[in-house]
Amino acid sequence: MLAYPRVMPHGPEGAQGRCLFIVLEGVDGSGKSTQVAAVARWLAERGRDVLTTREPGATELGTAIRNIVLHSARPVTPWAEVLLYAADRAQHVAEVVRPALEGGRDVVSDRFLWSSLAYQGAGRKLGSVEVAAANREAVADVKPDLLVVLDVPYEVAHARLEGDPDRIEAEPREFHERVRAAFLDLARRFGAPVVDGARPEDVVTKDVIALVDDLAKGSAG
């Protein structure tokens, strides 16, 4: 299956070393956006040029797709949902991620391919192999240098959500438990670090930054 089998030696070998593509994944309410900001701040403090981004909705097209996929009043079929997220990703990679990496910037993204494998592959029960196949051209050869899964139990994640639930947030507990289990399974299979996101924010940040520090040290050498 396609879950980053290829290596992408992206970016120029600048003075700061190779630029980095860092992805944070996890269930809704796992604290990704807070940690994305913390990682970006940490990298910027070390003189690196950093771009933060997210899926879905980082481009103009993506904003329209996000609105449809999360707020459509009419039913969206599971495979239409897969393809909408894949379309958002294709545009995101082509318009934002790849140009930034090739231009020497680090990119820190709130979600990427694994969100589709977990939410659509496991949550919607479409299968991770099938969903990965639908994303092949969208992702192309772009591969995270570091992917961190923030793991939070359902009760904790659910309690953190604010406002009216969107189409995905409104899914029942079983759906979100499948998504959480899928992230943990992907992490185990592909050797991605899992950080316990249920702890206080600063403690979580310390663990996430330690992983980024290791990566940055490795890439600068």
Binding site residues, ligand TYD, CB under 6 A = 28, 54-56, 70, 85, 111, 115-116, 119-120, 168-169
- Measured from the CB atom, is 122 or 216 closer to ligand TYD? 122
Contact partners, residue 162, CB within 8 Å, separation at least 6: none
Q: What whole-number distance in Å separates Cα of residue 72 and Cα of residue 166?
A: 9
CA distance 107 to 34: 15
CB of 15 to ligand TYD, least distance (A): 33
Q: Smallest gap, in angstroms, from Cβ of residue 126 to ligand TYD?
A: 11
The answer to whether the CB of 27 falls within 8 A of the CB of 153 is no
Among residues 107 and 216, whose Cβ is nearest to ligand TYD?
107
**Can you list the alpha helix ranges (DSSP code H) found in the chain?**
32-45, 60-71, 78-92, 98-102, 113-116, 128-134, 136-139, 154-160, 173-190, 201-220
At position 147, the amino acid (one-letter code) is L
Minimum CB distance to ligand TYD, residue 171 (Å): 9
40/216 with CB nearer ligand TYD: 40
Which residue type is seen at 174?
A: E
Q: Judged by CB, which is closer to ligand TYD: 48, or 180?
A: 180
Q: Report in angstroms how near the CB of residue 164 gets to ligand TYD at its nearest.
A: 11
3-class SS string, 178-214 = HHHHHHHHHHHHHCCCEEECCCCHHHHHHHHHHHHHH
Nearer to ligand TYD, 55 or 106 (CB): 55
At its nearest, how many Å lie between ligand TYD and the CB of residue 140?
Answer: 16
User: Which residue in the shown chain puts its C-beta closest to ligand TYD?
Assistant: 119
